[in-house]
Structure 1
Amino acid sequence: MSLRFYDSLTRRLRPFEPVEPGRVRMYTCGPTVYDRAHVGNFRAFIWEDLLRRYLRFKGYEVCQVMNLTDVDDRTITAATARGVPLAEVTDPVIEMFLEDWDTLGLEEPEHRPRATRFVEEMIRLIESLSERGLTYESDGSVYFAIGRSHGYGRLAGIDYGGLTATGRAAGDEEYDKDDPRDFVLWKGGDRGADGAVAVWDSPWGPGRPGWHLECSAMAMHHLGETLDIHTGGVDNLFPHHTNEIAQSEGVTGKKFSEFWLHAEHLLVEGRKMSKSLGNCFTIPELVERGHAPSAIRYLLLSGHYRAQLNFTFDGLEAAAKAVTRLHEFRNRVREAGGAELDASTDIGKAAARAGAAFEAAMDDDLNVSEALSAVFGLVREANHGLDAAHPLAPSGTRDALSVIDAFDRVFGVLAVRDRESSGGDDELVAWATARVGERERARASRDFARADAIRAEIEARGVIVEDLAEFTRLRVGGRTVQVPRPLRTVG
């Protein structure tokens, strides 16, 4: 099977071939930096990281652009409320975003442009659209006339005639438009306090660019007039991506992107994310609760990107155990390397099957469930051989490790797990040791429910707990720690 993706524009699975053989131009919609990104935002970002990694695994050179929206209504509102320049709001949020990005082990895109540094290019795009008769001015602002745009709305399956100015489809009601369905390209006129926070000179007077225009300018600057892949969340389908197509193709007369890929929303414990529900968790908040970044990353990658993913704390614990199982398997196979020939042909065949099944699954629109099934199938089979005292031959070791390494080149969870082990062992050991002591006190007072909960808490951070007669053994990464158990007195 050749690599194929579900294209939101054509609504079908299509074989993927980049415009330029061997090179992929990919644009991913980044965060609006008015507040720290939450785990729902990172669901899309980590899926896009998976996509990037798999394209590179397939041998493509990838040029990825992810923007930072540092000027829009929300950033301006935050700056105005605090009475500070725009950068005093956005710069710290960008730093937090990059910290969380690194915590979860995402690869750096080739370009991460900030919208405020591309305003001149946005002005030139508006001028080009105006030359083609696709805009009009009103009260110092410039609008895109969607009635003059052929095929408007096809990405989102929208009938222009039935389009109304509701919800996010509108967003510009405070501007004087000829048609409520049109969208703003340049926000001018009297903007009150907002105008003092973000304002640039233009042929139409002082103002600022519209949100949709920003991505078109940055994408075409770095990637050219036609992209191979444009990604984002399903909430970007309309109006953002729909308007991007209209204005970009209005300027160039060319197809803006060959493929449009969209990730579904994240649920938390079966409910939509909402600040009012208190379930918009950030990455530091999850880590502070004792959840390892590798487990967070694994859970966010464990479901297909086009299906809603239910993010639960039970799921995080299961993810931690899955990562630990893979980590321990890789270490076990490494330790088994160099043994004399025995059942190596069976392991070699199992590794070959797993490798082929993994790639076939990922080729099929990033079918992560089938890909993970293939990898864990190898883990079960190889562990069974090792448990039965069938040592792996060097060739079997290489074959099994090759599959695990290929998996992690794409999923990137073991690299994060290794970093947790090497960088935070002392701190994690101290914490786990203290929790074991608390667990022993709970057991001594016969509070077994609490003791079980503490053990689950420890294991959720990737620590293996083994209760032996005289001590509790903790396995933390490559380290083994023995915590003596208190002597029981007989009264």
Structure 2
Amino acid sequence: MAIKFYNYLTRQKEPFNPIKKGRVGLYTCGPTVYDRVHLGNLRTFIFEDVLKKTLQLNGYRVKHVMNITDIDDKIIKKMKQEKKTLKQITLPYLKLFLQDIKKLNIERAAYFPKATENIKEMIKLIKVLLKKGMAYKGKDNSIYFDISKFQTYGALSELTKQNIRHGARIENDEYSKKNAGDFVLWKAFNSIQDKSLTAWNAAFGKGRPGWHIECSAMSMKYLGKTFDIHAGAVDLLFPHHENEIAQSEAATGQKFVNYWLEAEHLLVENQKMSKSLGNFYTLRDIEKRNINPLAFRYLALNSHYRSKLNFTWNAVQKAEESLKNLRSLSFRKIIKREPRNAKKEKEYETKFIEALNNDLNTPRSLTTTWELARDAETPQTSKDKLIEKFDKVLKLGLKTDFRIPAEITKMAKNREKLRRENNYEKADQLRQKADNLGWIMEDTPSGPAIRKKL
């Protein structure tokens, strides 16, 4: 079954064809470690995890690189405010980020390169751009990329050079550069303004990297000049991803990335998440309400990654209830071993994979999982096999390998015997006893079934 992704570079669904057969190079934009990652960030990381798992489900070996931004204006500002060193700010938040993704069953990337550990690669890339005349030194001694020299600038975000407007994420330094849209590659060190001494020496002057150059340098270091997939959030489309393409392709003369995948915004009560609005939430806020973190993963999976996700406390609570019910149906064992149904397995597996291969249609894959769990005609042995496979992508903790205590198994068999003898009163007493011990006894066409109470 061919995989199709919506490629922002062409604005259409395209069949996925990797550069190397059976292998995929994947780069994803990671956190800026000056604060806890918020739910919008985590929604994107869940989408990227499903992307990787879908590729693996299709037999691909995925080399996943996620950068860690541990130097930028926000970090330096926090260093000054709290009078701490760079590592004193960044390392605790990096640790919290790794804890959060673990709670959401997000698999770690193979590589987590830090910006501060790849300064040499950034300097080397800037030197190439200067040599090619694609970059210049501004009046403030910072190095800027000249977008007028890059003919296809704006192709990803569908902006023209004339239509570029100053936004929140475009540096406010137009008096130091030639064009309003030119972006900084290297910020010159200013001993008067910057007391943190967070700077590195380079042939073109002491300073530190700009926001965009780190991703180009680190992605190409690990994945090569051209690689398969770059994923992130739609708010990074411009200027970040646009600028990555410009500086990378200007330096190498080659196409930077073949497929660009972007996750849509997470809203809170249909509003943009903002600290000023008091609706800025992290995973810790979910945990404070005693909600299972995987309920948020379930909520994210139940919405297509290219659709806006409206987060509400009612929605995540309903997601937790749905997750509990799905787990309860999954955590079921038939006492009498029954043969598997290969035809049913093939039908459900095909539906599940087809949904994911159609631009990661996770809502449809979840629906298929529910249909399987509820299907009374599919043997539990087949369900166990399929749910285990499906959960390698969904990662909702739908474990089927639990053990039933011998006492409960014996009670189920005795209850079945009593039912055959029409002794329903005693049979119900055994069922209630099992219920009190945390186990639910059910009657199915295949015989007595037991599932955990959640």
TM-score range, shorter chain: 0.7 to 0.9
| CA distance, structure 1, for counterparts of residue 257 and residue 172 of structure 2 | 26
C-alpha change, 1:474 and 1:98, in structure 2 (3 Å) is farther
| CA distance, structure 1, for counterparts of residue 395 and residue 433 of structure 2 | 38
| Equivalent residue number for residue 255 of structure 2 | 255
The letter of the residue matching 1:336 is I
| CA distance, structure 2, for counterparts of residue 277 and residue 469 of structure 1 | 50
| CA distance, structure 2, for counterparts of residue 214 and residue 276 of structure 1 | 30
C-alpha change, 1:16 and 1:179, in structure 2 (3 Å) is same
Contact 1:71 1:116 in 2 (8 A): yes
What is the SS of the residue equivalent to 2:212? Answer: helix
| CA distance, structure 1, for counterparts of residue 382 and residue 58 of structure 2 | 19
| CA distance, structure 2, for counterparts of residue 476 and residue 186 of structure 1 | 62
| Equivalent residue number for residue 276 of structure 1 | 276
What's the CA shift string for 1:5-52, capped at 9, x where partnerless?
000010010000110111100000001111111111100001101111
C-alpha change, 1:33 and 1:353, in structure 2 (3 Å) is same
| Equivalent residue number for residue 414 of structure 2 | none
1:197 deviates by 3.9
What's the CA shift string for 1:155-199, capped at 9, x where partnerless?
0001112223x1135224276112221001111052534353411
Mapping for residues 144-163 of structure 1, pairs under 5 Å: 144-163=145-164
| CA distance, structure 2, for counterparts of residue 251 and residue 300 of structure 1 | 37
Contact 2:189 2:199 in 1 (8 A): no
| CA distance, structure 2, for counterparts of residue 340 and residue 113 of structure 1 | 49
Residue 355 of structure 1: which of 346, 349, 358 is its match? 349
What's the CA shift string for 1:425-444, capped at 9, x where partnerless?
xxxxxxxxxxxxxxxxxxxx
| 1:379 and 2:370 aligned | no
C-alpha change, 1:158 and 1:480, in structure 2 (3 Å) is closer
What is the SS of the residue equivalent to 1:168? Answer: coil
Mapping for residues 411-450 of structure 1, pairs under 5 Å: 411-414=394-397
| Equivalent residue number for residue 410 of structure 1 | 393
| CA distance, structure 2, for counterparts of residue 479 and residue 292 of structure 1 | 17
C-alpha change, 1:189 and 1:108, in structure 2 (3 Å) is closer
| CA distance, structure 2, for counterparts of residue 362 and residue 480 of structure 1 | 30
Contact 1:195 1:207 in 2 (8 A): no
| CA distance, structure 2, for counterparts of residue 371 and residue 62 of structure 1 | 21
| Equivalent residue number for residue 444 of structure 2 | none
| 1:65 and 2:59 aligned | no
Contact 2:19 2:228 in 1 (8 A): yes
| 1:370 and 2:371 aligned | no
| Structure 2, unpaired ranges of 5+ | 404-430, 441-450
What is the SS of the residue equivalent to 2:168? Answer: helix
| Equivalent residue number for residue 88 of structure 2 | 88
| Equivalent residue number for residue 426 of structure 2 | none
Percent identity, please: 41
| CA distance, structure 2, for counterparts of residue 288 and residue 81 of structure 1 | 28
| CA distance, structure 1, for counterparts of residue 30 and residue 214 of structure 2 | 11
TM-score norm. by structure 1 comes to 0.80
Q: Which moved more, 1:28-37 or 1:318-327?
A: 318-327
1:379 deviates by 1.8
Mapping for residues 224-235 of structure 1, pairs under 5 Å: 224-235=224-235
1:349 deviates by 3.9
The letter of the residue matching 2:7 is D
| Equivalent residue number for residue 304 of structure 1 | 304
C-alpha change, 1:337 and 1:198, in structure 2 (3 Å) is farther
| CA distance, structure 1, for counterparts of residue 400 and residue 28 of structure 2 | 28
RMSD: 2.6
Contact 1:230 1:257 in 2 (8 A): yes
| Equivalent residue number for residue 293 of structure 2 | 293
| Equivalent residue number for residue 141 of structure 2 | 140
| 1:339 and 2:322 aligned | no
| Structure 1, unpaired ranges of 5+ | 386-391, 423-467, 482-491
| CA distance, structure 2, for counterparts of residue 358 and residue 92 of structure 1 | 39
Contact 1:142 1:185 in 2 (8 A): yes
What is the SS of the residue equivalent to 1:88? Answer: helix
The letter of the residue matching 1:136 is Y
C-alpha change, 1:10 and 1:278, in structure 2 (3 Å) is same
| CA distance, structure 2, for counterparts of residue 86 and residue 232 of structure 1 | 25
| CA distance, structure 2, for counterparts of residue 372 and residue 471 of structure 1 | 30
| Equivalent residue number for residue 449 of structure 1 | none
What is the SS of the residue equivalent to 1:228? Answer: strand
What is the SS of the residue equivalent to 1:241? Answer: helix
What is the SS of the residue equivalent to 1:275? Answer: coil
Contact 2:9 2:155 in 1 (8 A): yes
1:257 deviates by 0.4
Contact 1:29 1:67 in 2 (8 A): yes
| CA distance, structure 1, for counterparts of residue 18 and residue 434 of structure 2 | 58
Contact 1:170 1:180 in 2 (8 A): no
| CA distance, structure 1, for counterparts of residue 268 and residue 183 of structure 2 | 33
The letter of the residue matching 2:305 is Y
Mapping for residues 153-302 of structure 1, pairs under 5 Å: 153-164=154-165, 166-168=166-168, 170-173=170-173, 176-190=176-190, 192-194=192-194, 196-302=196-302
| CA distance, structure 2, for counterparts of residue 476 and residue 283 of structure 1 | 31
The letter of the residue matching 1:163 is I
1:86 deviates by 1.4
What is the SS of the residue equivalent to 2:196? Answer: helix
| CA distance, structure 1, for counterparts of residue 400 and residue 108 of structure 2 | 19
1:337 deviates by 5.9
Runs of 4+ deviating beyond 3 Å: 337-341, 348-351, 468-481
What's the CA shift string for 1:141-163, capped at 9, x where partnerless?
11100000120110000111222
What is the SS of the residue equivalent to 1:99? Answer: helix
The letter of the residue matching 1:5 is F
The letter of the residue matching 2:388 is D
Contact 1:351 1:378 in 2 (8 A): no
- Kindly indicate which of the two structures has a greater share of residues assigned to helix: 1
Contact 2:301 2:363 in 1 (8 A): no
1:317 deviates by 2.3
1:475 deviates by 4.6
What is the SS of the residue equivalent to 1:260? Answer: strand
TM-score norm. by structure 2 comes to 0.86
Contact 1:134 1:144 in 2 (8 A): yes
C-alpha change, 1:253 and 1:106, in structure 2 (3 Å) is same
Contact 1:212 1:240 in 2 (8 A): yes
1:209 deviates by 0.7
